[in-house]
């Protein structure tokens, strides 16, 4: 505690206690997560309800609600041996735990059910701009080798691996879409090469030729983007809950509602951009084609 309080860059810190107990009415061992203070900043996503407040409230995961049949807002009595604890379920948190039921509350309240529940770690929130690695190194040096200090955040190797895989798949999809446009425009341009020769003979410039070829697919690209975005969002809204249910949890709104209106507009325009980029190469070929050669083509 003293080492954390003394370090610059500390914004929040709270003691966390974790343990498992057998509870009547719950088939699996119940995971207890107790906090010694305000832990609403620790990053739990709420599916329904709100973060617990006071000793009589707790938050639970979907597996707990499924196994007990309870609902958010209910009062539930937990029984472990001769110990009893009556709590009010304030909210449902997104924490699958592999399908194991979980309760999150204040450590003093949960200790009534599990006297062995004691703080085993401290969760620390840093001020914006503070280096997590540097902070962990400084705290680790202050605490000594008997304590383990680790960084838990979006900078992990797994996080970057997932982002890299998503980016790679996105680039591949863009490349496939661009090549599809390129193939279509090449075929159309070759079929219309005689018409292009006629247009050039009456004064069409190379820039006008490029503009004509590009505009022939720009409208289709825009319409494709306007259709694809709503369809993609609908698929997203359907698939994620199915995946969450496979992991025995529900999906929070923060996972489902990830796009802002400005982002949707840009995504819709991406169809237009892909169509234009894919058409530039055959448009350039059409602009360079000699008028006489084009007129002789059938």
Name the residue with higher pLDDT: 267 or 19: 19
Model confidence band, residue 131 (pLDDT cutoffs 50, 70, 90): confident
pLDDT at 88 over 90: yes
Confirm whether pTM is higher than 0.85: no
Residue 36: band (very low, low, confident or very high) from pLDDT cuts 50, 70, 90: very high
* Chain mean pLDDT for the chain: 84
Average pLDDT over every residue of 262-274: 87
Q: Is the pLDDT of residue 50 over 60?
A: yes
Asked if the model's pLDDT at residue 4 lies above 70, the reply is no
In 41-70, which positions are buried (b, 16+ CB within 10 angstroms) versus exposed (e)? ebebebbbbebbeeeebbbbbbbbbebbee
In the prediction, which pLDDT does 150 show? 83
Q: Which of 292, 287, 289 has the alpha carbon at shortest distance from 207?
A: 287
Task: Check residue 87 and give its pLDDT.
Answer: 94
Q: Are 22 and 53 in contact (CB under 8 A)?
A: no
**Separation of alpha carbons 36 and 173, rounded Å:** 48
Query: Which pLDDT value is given to residue 8?
Result: 67
Q: What sign for the dihedral angle of Cα 74, 80, 81, 83?
A: negative
**pLDDT in the model for residue 291:** 62
pLDDT tens by residue, 210-264:
888 888 888 888 888 889 888 988 998 899 889 888 888 888 888 888 888 888 8
pLDDT, position 2: 53
pLDDT digits (tens, 9 = 90+) for 132-166: 888 888 888 887 887 888 887 655 576 678 788 88
Mean pLDDT value of segment 173-181 = 87
Segment 172-185 shows an average pLDDT of 86
59 or 128: which leads in pLDDT: 59
Which residue would you say has higher pLDDT here, 109 or 202? 109
Q: What percent of the chain has pLDDT over 70?
A: 90
Does the pLDDT value for residue 46 go beyond 70? yes
pLDDT beyond 60 at 58: yes
């Amino acid at each position: 505690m003293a080492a954390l309080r003394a370090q610059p860059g500390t914004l929040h810190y709270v003691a966390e206690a974790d343990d498992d107990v057998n509870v009547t009415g719950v088939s699996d061992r119940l995971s207890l997560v107790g906090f010694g203070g305000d832990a609403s900043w620790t990053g739990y996503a709420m599916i329904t309800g709100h973060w617990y407040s006071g000793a009589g409230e707790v938050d639970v995961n979907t597996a707990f609600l499924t196994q007990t049949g309870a609902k958010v807002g209910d009062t539930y009595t937990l029984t472990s041996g001769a110990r009893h604890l009556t709590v009010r379920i304030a909210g449902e948190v997104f924490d699958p735990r592999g399908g194991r039921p979980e309760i999150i509350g204040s450590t003093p309240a949960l200790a009534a059910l599990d006297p062995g529940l004691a703080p085993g770690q401290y969760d620390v929130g840093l001020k914006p701009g503070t280096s997590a690695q540097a902070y962990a190194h400084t705290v680790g040096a202050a605490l000594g080798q008997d304590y383990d200090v680790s960084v838990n955040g979006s900078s992990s190797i797994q996080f970057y691996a997932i982002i890299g895989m998503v980016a790679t798949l996105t680039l591949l999809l863009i490349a496939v879409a661009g090549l599809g446009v390129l193939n279509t425009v090449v075929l159309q341009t070759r079929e219309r090469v005689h018409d292009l020769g006629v247009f050039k003979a009456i004064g069409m410039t190379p820039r006008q030729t490029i503009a004509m070829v590009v505009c022939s697919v720009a409208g289709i690209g825009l319409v494709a983007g306007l259709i694809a975005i709503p369809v993609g969002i609908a698929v997203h809204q359907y698939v994620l809950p199915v995946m969450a249910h496979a992991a025995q949890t529900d999906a929070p709104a923060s996972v489902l509602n990830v796009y802002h209106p400005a982002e949707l507009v840009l995504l819709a325009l991406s169809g237009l951009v892909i169509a234009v980029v894919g058409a530039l190469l055959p448009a350039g070929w059409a602009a360079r084609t000699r008028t006489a050669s084009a007129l002789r083509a059938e």
